[in-house]
Amino acid sequence: MSTGKIVVCGGGGFIGGHLVADLLRQGAEDIRSVDIKPFSEWYQTSPKVENVQLDLQDKAACERALAGAHTVYNLAADMGGMGFIENNRALCMLSVLINTHLCMAARQQGVARFFYASSACVYAADKQTSPDVTALRESDAYPAQPEDGYGWEKLFSERMCRHFREDFGLLTRVARFHNVYGPLGTYAGGREKAPAAICRKVIEAKLSGKHEIEIWGDGHQTRSFMYIDDCLKGTQAILASDILEPLNLGSSELVSINQLVDLVEDIAGIKLKRSYNLKAPKGVNGRNSDNTLIRKHLGWEPEVRLREGLEKTYAWIYGEMTRK
């Protein structure tokens, strides 16, 4: 736990909000949470921290955000699920300004530790062409062929962190997040990811009595999904570590989208008629996390199985959708 000021950039978002809450539970007393959204749109807020609304694409805003900072978590980005990132490539690319200006401000402020949240979208597309994908190792990011837009921005920002560490001595650590999900996240509106989207669709079908569901793609595409609690533990472990290169942070529990729907249907106690929208964004055919390095270096392994995490996520979304 940092003994100085901790700044969580993107603190009004899903992962950032959970991270702030977790740091408070651990006894952190000097936290600044920064996000571009109006406070009314933050996923979580706490009166025990300094909550600041700033556009971190702006260099001066980054300097203000990091004033007096000891530890920085950069979770800020304009992003969402596949439906968002495939249709907003320029917006995703502009997030490069956030990490660039934060690195500059961190160097200026003498920040002790700087965490950057990267993504599995950095991985080369030709490694993800089959649903029966071999789990992705950290070295599979090069030769570079990342997800267009969002993935390129993440890969570039990883290099920015590396070179600030090498050239200026800024202690940077990078994690490649693999599909983080859980309660208090986006489940509607276009930015939601697959677990929340499937939960919402199943709940809509259950509440309406129209037992049908549309699935994006053919349902055979495969992914792994990491519960938010495991993400928080892994993030803090990576920041505190001596590991210089980016590390995978994800589950290796591979499922197809059809299997994901099976699980949520079972939790809901219904079976739905499925239709497949082959024109909808679906991303790569297969992606899974190889956790060999993080297990070797940090002894980290996800503790929450997909079924357990989905039950908690489904219950929260159901409560939100049925709340009077």
- DSSP 8-state secondary structure symbol assigned to residue 125: G
Catalytic residue among 73, 116, 150, 181: 150
Q: Are 19 and 73 in contact (CB under 8 A)?
A: yes
318 catalytic residue (yes or no): no
Contact 204, 318 (CB under 8 A): no
**Distance between first and last Cα of the chain:** 40
Contact in structure between 33 and 54 (CB atoms under 8 Å): no
CA distances from 76 to 200, 294, 297 (A): 25, 23, 26
Helix (H) or strand (E) holding 170: none
The closest alpha carbon to 282, from 125, 145, 77, 86, belongs to: 86
- The 8-class DSSP code of residue 7 comes to E
Q: Which helix (H) or strand (E) holds 64?
A: helix 59-65
Specify the DSSP class assigned to residue 286: B
Beta 50-53 vs 31-35: how paired, if at all?
parallel
Active site residues: 150
